[in-house]
Amino acid sequence: MIALKVGQDLRMAVVATPSYLARYGTPQHPRDPMGHRCINYRMVDPGAIYPWEFEQNGLEFDVRVPGPLTFNEPELMLDCALEGLGVAYLLEHEVAPYIGRGALTHLLADWTAPFPGFFLYYPSRQRLRPVFGAFLDLLRRQSGQRMAASG
């Protein structure tokens, strides 16, 4: 199999509104959200609640947080966080505009390390259809442009 990276590295963000934090306090450590109203994500396939993943100085651990709200759509999680209903764990690029304008506060940033983004996997020993080959070429060109821009 061949793996072709099709996006940038990703990073999660723990966020809440300033008004929520004024009322309930600001988490300082990854275990602190255990005492907060957390907004959880339910994975579709296994139906399990997604644990919040943290890492710092080589120490990695997951935290299964309690919360009154659970969704399988990140947009709904973001809406609830913006309404001040709790603390959410979302992709950083999805919440960055709200952090930038002060609607959300980025929490525990030192504990959320970047991780590899998305990859396209395809078999190397099969003859590729021309349209798929053209698609791969496009992805490779775009990937090269992103790497040149970030380098």
Q: pLDDT tens digits for 15-26?
A: 999 999 999 999
The confidence score (pLDDT) of residue 149 equals 42
What would the pLDDT profile of 94-119 be if each residue is shown by its tens digit? 999 999 999 999 999 999 988 777 77
Average pLDDT, the chain: 88
Whether 61 has a pLDDT exceeding 80, the answer reads yes
User: DSSP letters of the chain?
Assistant: -EEEE-S--B-EEEEE-HHHHHHH----STTGGGGS-EEEEB-TTT-PBPPEEEEETTEEEEE----SEEES-HHHHHHHHHTTS-EEEEEHHHHHHHHHTTSSEEE-GGG---B---EEEE-SSSPPPHHHHHHHHHHHHHHHHHHHHH-
Whether 7 has a pLDDT exceeding 80, the answer reads no
**Integer angstrom CA distances of residue 125 from 1, 3, 5, 67:** 8, 13, 19, 47
The confidence score (pLDDT) of residue 57 equals 87
The confidence score (pLDDT) of residue 116 equals 78
Q: What dihedral angle (degrees, nearest 10) is formed by the CA atoms of 96, 7, 70, 65?
A: -80
Q: Percent of the chain beyond pLDDT 90? A: 60
Nearest 5°: the CA angle 77, 82, 86 is: 65
